[in-house]
Copies of this chain bind each other. A is one copy, B any other.
Amino acid sequence: MGIRMGRNNYGKSRVRLLRVVRGPHGNEIREFTVAIRFEGDFDTVHTAGDNSKVLPTDTMKNTVYALAGQEPAVSAEGFASRLIRHFLETCSEVERVEVDVREDVWARVGANGKAHTTAFVRAGEEKRNAFLSGTRQGITIRAGVESLIAMKTAQSAFEGFRKDRYTTLKEDRDRVMATSIKADWLYANGDVDFNVVWEGVRDKLVEAFANHESLSLQHTLYAMGEAVLQKFPEIREIRLSLPNKHYNLVNLAPFGLNNPSEVFLPTDEPHGLIEGTVTRD
Contact yes or no, B119 A122, CB < 8 A: no
In the complex, which residues of chain B have a beta carbon less than 8 angstroms from the beta carbon of A268? 14, 269
Assess whether A85 is interfacial by the CB under 8 Å rule. Answer: no
Interface residues on A, range: 35 or more
State the majority secondary structure of interface residues on A: mixed
Identical chains bound together, number:
4
The residue in chain B whose Cβ has the minimal distance to the Cβ of A166 is B62
Contact yes or no, A273 B13, CB < 8 A: yes
Contact yes or no, B11 A280, CB < 8 A: no
Knowing A69-B259, A250-B65, A264-B18, the reply to whether A273 touches B55 (Cβ < 8 A) is: no
In the complex, which residues of chain B have a beta carbon less than 8 angstroms from the beta carbon of A158? 51, 56
In the complex, which residues of chain B have a beta carbon less than 8 angstroms from the beta carbon of A209? 119
Report A65 CB to chain B, min CB distance, Å. 5
Chain B CB count within 10 A is highest, among A53, A123, A207, for A207
In the complex, which residues of chain B have a beta carbon less than 8 angstroms from the beta carbon of A226? 3
A132-140, A147-155, A190-198: which lies at the B interface?
A147-155
Report A118 CB to chain B, min CB distance, Å. 4
Chain A residues within 8 Å of B, Cβ to Cβ: 1-22, 27, 29, 31, 35, 37, 42, 45-59, 61-63, 65-66, 68-70, 90-91, 106, 109, 111-112, 116-125, 148-155, 158-169, 176, 206-207, 209-211, 214-216, 218-219, 221-222, 225-226, 229-230, 237, 243-244, 247, 250, 252, 254-255, 257-281
